[in-house]
Amino acid sequence: MKDTLGIIFEEGTDAGLGTLTSKRSLAAVPIASRYRIIDFILSSMVNSGITNVGIITQKNYKSLMDHLGAGKEWDLNRKIGGLLLIPPFSYSEGLTSEKGELSELAGALDFLEKSPQKYVLLSKSHLIGNLNFNDAFEEHKNSNALITILYQKLEPKSEISGLKNRFFIDTDESERIKEIKAYSSTNESNKISLDIYIINKEYLIYLIRDGLASLERGMFAEVISRRLNHIRVKGYEAKDIVARIDSIKTYYQANMMLLEKDIREKLFFNPGLIFTKVKDEAPSKYLESAVVKNSLIADGCIINGYVENSIIFRGVRIEKGAVIKNSIIMQDAEIRENGILEHVILDKEVIIRHDIRLTGQESYLVLINKGAIV
């Protein structure tokens, strides 16, 4: 896929992750003990052979910049191509209210025009998956479509949650897309768009310019939907495991699904490895009173308490008598003696003092802000 460049952009609306995204973009939200959400889609691109990736940032992108650096861990610190962070684009025309996604993509116009590649793989940043785009790309090249949209089939009656802003597509027998519709309760299609697009670059440039000129609003899927009568858009079914993060609930589920062996092995190792920033922490240390059951634990932790069904990030301290169940504990948190946490998400650097008890429910998780002392 040397002929394809990657663009990752963030959904314009509220990410839905409460305080987890109050000071960082969705792409930079920590997940799975040692990753950030963007690591999965970015690694998937790199593993598919893409060597030139632009990431369009939204406000509060310090955390994302800090994480990505020059792209070394993704092998994207290249002389030719590599990683480019594209800061938010502002308009001299004073266009501020309700920008459409096309205008967000406008920041990447320069990058698109100057890159030699002919195709663009465009993805949003909220997907957790280990994908290889080569087959989809081959099909796109061999079809005469301008755009290919990757979709997944939802199981009938599968739980429909967190589907705001999600789009369903209808295809004919040749996989040509007939309709793109936002989810509604009367929805008939089970083909949900992954918000991953393979587009001929010249056409994307044209779309952005056209959209800017006419102040076109709406999400990118809607922009394409309006043009379905004029251009050829195809669907491609992706069969990989893909989780969409758009609420605290989906975020929690995406973490917890990694406790299942099959999902873990697929998501971390197949078809490629997931890269992330290296922190040089020592191996985690278990002390005399440590009991750990069915949990994922990153390096740099010192554990002397009880941990069950939980996701523990780097550098966490769990003291004697502390109990952690069904929880997500982010980097450098400290749980002091006899602290008890159930169904809790701790953002980074939280301190839970001794004898403190926090209990949430699976349907109502307790979320503690970064740096809080409880």
Partner 1 sequence: MQKKELIALILAGGQGSRLGALTKSVAKPAVNFGGKYRIIDFPLSNCTNSNIDIVGVLTQYQPLELNSYIGSGQPWDLDRSFGGVYLLPPYMKAEEGTWYKGTANAIYQNINFIQMFNPKNVLILSGDHIYKMNYAKMLEFHKKNDADATISCIRVPWEEASRFGIMETDEDMRIKEFYEKPANPVSDMASMGIYIFKWEVLKKYLTNDEKDPDSSNDFGKNIIPKMLHDKQKMFAYKFSGYWKDVGTVFSLWEANMELLGTKPLMNLFDKSWRIYSKNPIQPPHYASSESEIVNSMITEGSVVFGKVENSIISSGVKIGKNTHVENSVIFPGAIIGDNCLVKKAIIGERTIIEDDCKVGVDDFVDNQAVSKMCSDDIVLIGSDQVIKAKSSIAKNVMVE
Name the residues that contact partner 1, by CB under 8 A. 32-34, 72, 259, 264, 268, 273-275, 278, 280, 282-288, 290-300, 302, 311-312
CB of 80 to partner 1, least distance (A): 18
First vs last Cα of the chain: how many Å apart?
49
Tell how strand 233-237 and strand 127-129 pair up: unpaired
CB of 254 to partner 1, least distance (A): 14
* Run of H or E residues at 340: strand 340-342
CB of 13 to partner 1, least distance (A): 31
CB of 291 to partner 1, least distance (A): 7
Residue 262 Cα to chain centre, angstroms: 20
Please say which residue, 285 or 353, places its beta carbon nearer to partner 1: 285
CB of 222 to partner 1, least distance (A): 37
What would the two tokens of residue 304 be?
Answer: 């002397």
Residue 312: count of CB within 10 angstroms of its CB: 26
Question: Cα–Cα distance between 204 and 118 in angstroms, integer?
Answer: 11
Query: What burial letters (b/e) apply to 256-285, b meaning 16+ CB within 10 Å?
Result: bbbeeeeeeeebeeeebebbbeeeeeeebe
Residue 225: count of CB within 10 angstroms of its CB: 18
Question: Cα–Cα distance between 112 and 52 in angstroms, integer?
Answer: 10
CB of 307 to partner 1, least distance (A): 8
CB of 29 to partner 1, least distance (A): 16
Please say which residue, 221 or 292, places its beta carbon nearer to partner 1: 292
Tell me 344's DSSP state. Answer: E
What would the two tokens of residue 224 be?
Answer: 């394409």
Residue 353: count of CB within 10 angstroms of its CB: 13
- Determine the longest span between alpha carbons in the chain, in angstroms: 68
Residue by residue, what is the 3-state secondary structure of 210-268?
HHHHCCCCCCHHHHHHCCCCCCCEEEEECCCCEEECCCHHHHHHHHHHHHCHHHHHHHH
Please say which residue, 23 or 264, places its beta carbon nearer to partner 1: 264
Please say which residue, 183 or 268, places its beta carbon nearer to partner 1: 268
Please say which residue, 94 or 283, places its beta carbon nearer to partner 1: 283
User: 116 in helix, strand or coil?
Assistant: coil
Please say which residue, 243 or 297, places its beta carbon nearer to partner 1: 297
CB of 285 to partner 1, least distance (A): 5
Please say which residue, 5 or 267, places its beta carbon nearer to partner 1: 267
Please say which residue, 154 or 290, places its beta carbon nearer to partner 1: 290
Please say which residue, 75 or 179, places its beta carbon nearer to partner 1: 75
CB of 85 to partner 1, least distance (A): 20
